[in-house]
Amino acid sequence: MTTNRSIRRVPPWRGLVLAVALAGAALAGSGALAAGKASTADHGKFKELQQSFASGPEVTKACLICHTEAAKQVHSTKHWSWEFLNPATDQKLGKKNVINNFCISVPSNYPFCTSCHVGYGWKDANFDFTAEENVDCLVCHDTTGSYRKLPGLAGHPPYQDTEIPPGSGKFAKAVDLTKVAQKVGRTSRDTCGACHFFGGGGDGVKHGDMDSSLAAPDRELDVHMDATGLDFTCGTCHRTSSHDVPGSRYTPVARDTEGAHIPGRQDDSLPATCPACHGQAPHKGGGHAAKLNDHTDVVACQTCHIPQIARGGVATKMSWDWSTAGQMGPDGKPMLKKDEAGRVIYDSKKGDFVLGENVVPEYRWFNGEVTYTLLGDKVDKSEGVTRINRLGGSAEDGKSLIWPMKVFVGVQPYDPVNRTLVTPHTAGNDDTAYWKNFGWEKAIKTGMQVSGSAFSGQVDFVRTEMSWPITHMVAPKENAVRCGECHMKGGRLENIGGVYIPGRDANPLIDLFGWLMAGGALLGALVHGGLRIVRRNG
């Protein structure tokens, strides 16, 4: 699960995906290549792209000759700034600012984290966010599957064959920029997935509902993205406007009360919600369907239609205990421990992991409001659990629905004197990087300096929790959560309050009186009948 290992995992996945996609396309006669066919431009014929490029920014300059506004558009998005101001809470969020309980934080680890930035060269806080040529067009628009960026290169692809990790004897081939540039096209599950499937340091680690199995899913895994069926890409729902991708972790739409959006009729917008296409009464027909539609005032579509997460054969991380990191193997060197399935469950660099597949989500009322515990916010260890993010919502606020969540548990370093979470310097080859020297004090001191925050020099660990609303891996209807899984005592919604759930809730007093009454009637009948028999015989 280290960043290094995630890199080693990319090529086989890419190869497999491409093979599957090509096979699918060949069989169906359409499919994965359809997007390319729909284009009105063959970029291979553009003179600007018929040259050898020495770097990514050079390619971008060529792109911008025609796509004059593209870089400016990208500049205004979260994909570029990694910054987001939540207007509801005034919290300054975005990857750059939030702390999580996976790899913890970006500052001081830029060259590694920014291998997933849509730009080139963000290696420290001095990065020029106004430079247009630093926008990486290819990472989203590559259609060859050969373009990739390596951790440690600050968002650049390898320009020559690069040994990764150094000394491993494994080489990442230099990217053929000319070929990639001449074959650009629409975004795909592969291009979005190159970052979003691998969030948190490896395949499926972070989200649980997004991993490499979605590159070419079958119908059972994702009814919309089904590679041989509807074949949606990410962009089908997250339909961009001026390079801005709708859908947000920071201000998600928890309850879309509008009807289906019909492009060209009402408006052209397409929020990335289920009702945006399906409307508020998605189940067609009377009777049972109507009863299901009744649920949409309380239950998010995802709650029934995503029965489990991590269903595609890729495990997701359910907990990460940093406090056990730093134990060395018998040879005194960092080690890995694996489970029977060969998945890493201990890494000297990172500590202990718990992995899960086919995980039943937890359920919460959620209204779309998310508040983060940010650097500098006071943490109280005596509370037991520090919530990295707090989700707003209740049965009463009229804005909430019951949502499925992946609740990720962490044990991570904090400063017991200042009582704050910390931003350790983990990645890098320098003397203070935790993954090289295994010293928390040094790593946190460096990290906190880069973050511009005070550090007392003391390190303790605090238990944290982070909730991830689940919205991908939508199963076909026949695999939706069955009625009885919630409508029973001890069911999925056992801990959901504020709503009467038949099968789970009953008034114990009424039940008591009811059974006493019915039982009394039975007893009376038995006594009466018994007496009749006795008297008759007697």
Partner 1 sequence: MERIYIFKRFERFWHWSQALLIILMMVTGFEIHGTYTLLGYGDASELHTSAAWALIALWVFAIFWHFTTGEWRQYIPTTENLVAMLRYYMSGIFTHAAHPFRLTQLRKHNPLQRLAYLGVKLMINPLIWLSGLAYLYYNEINAVGFGLELGVVALVHTIGAFLMLAFLVVHVYVITTGHTWSSHLKAMITGWEEIEDPQQGAKS
Identify which of residues 284 and 536 has a Cβ nearer to partner 1 in the complex. 536
Among 69, 268, 297, 430, binds partner 1 (CB under 8 A): 297
Per rule CB under 8 A, is residue 283 in the interface with partner 1? no
Please state the closest distance from residue 497 (CB atom) to partner 1, in A.
Answer: 12
Question: Which parts of 30-137 fold into alpha helices (H)?
Answer: 34-38, 56-66, 70-75, 78-81, 110-113
Please state the closest distance from residue 477 (CB atom) to partner 1, in A.
Answer: 13
CB 368 within 8 A of CB 389: no
Element at 311 (helix H, strand E): none
Please identify which residue in the block is written with the tokens 């009322």: 365
Identify which of residues 88 and 517 has a Cβ nearer to partner 1 in the complex. 517
Residues touching partner 1: how many (CB under 8 A)? 38
One character per residue 468-507, x = contact with partner 1 (rule: CB under 8 A): --------------xxx--xxx---------xx-xxxxxx
Under DSSP, is residue 491 helix (H, G, I), strand (E, B) or coil? Answer: coil
CB 6 within 8 A of CB 202: yes
Please state the closest distance from residue 285 (CB atom) to partner 1, in A.
Answer: 13
Token representation of residue 181: 């540039």
Q: Which long-range contacts (CB under 8 A, 24 or more apart) does 53-57 make?
A: 53/177, 53/178, 53/181, 54/159, 55/120, 55/156, 55/159, 55/177, 56/120, 56/136, 56/138, 56/155, 56/156, 56/157, 56/177, 57/120, 57/121, 57/131, 57/133, 57/134
Per rule CB under 8 A, is residue 528 in the interface with partner 1? yes
Identify which of residues 93 and 486 has a Cβ nearer to partner 1 in the complex. 486
Rule CB under 8 A: which of 394-433 touch partner 1? none
3-class SS string, 35-49: HHHHCCCCHHHCHHH
Vertex 416, ends 413 and 422: CA angle to 5°?
A: 40
Please state the closest distance from residue 360 (CB atom) to partner 1, in A.
Answer: 17
Per rule CB under 8 A, is residue 265 in the interface with partner 1? no
Per rule CB under 8 A, is residue 167 in the interface with partner 1? no
How many C-beta atoms surround the C-beta of residue 71 within 10 A? Answer: 22
Which of the stretches 102-110, 198-206, 468-476, 523-531 binds partner 1 when contact is defined by CB under 8 A?
Answer: 523-531
Per rule CB under 8 A, is residue 280 in the interface with partner 1? no
Identify which of residues 376 and 524 has a Cβ nearer to partner 1 in the complex. 524
Closest CA to 326 of 349, 352, 353: 349
Identify which of residues 376 and 502 has a Cβ nearer to partner 1 in the complex. 502
Closest CA to 412 of 437, 432, 439, 440: 440
Among 173, 291, 338, 477, binds partner 1 (CB under 8 A): 291
Identify which of residues 173 and 532 has a Cβ nearer to partner 1 in the complex. 532
Binding region for partner 1 (CB under 8 A)? 287-288, 291, 293-294, 297, 482-484, 487-489, 499-500, 502-507, 510-511, 513-515, 517-518, 520-522, 524-525, 528-529, 531-532, 535-536
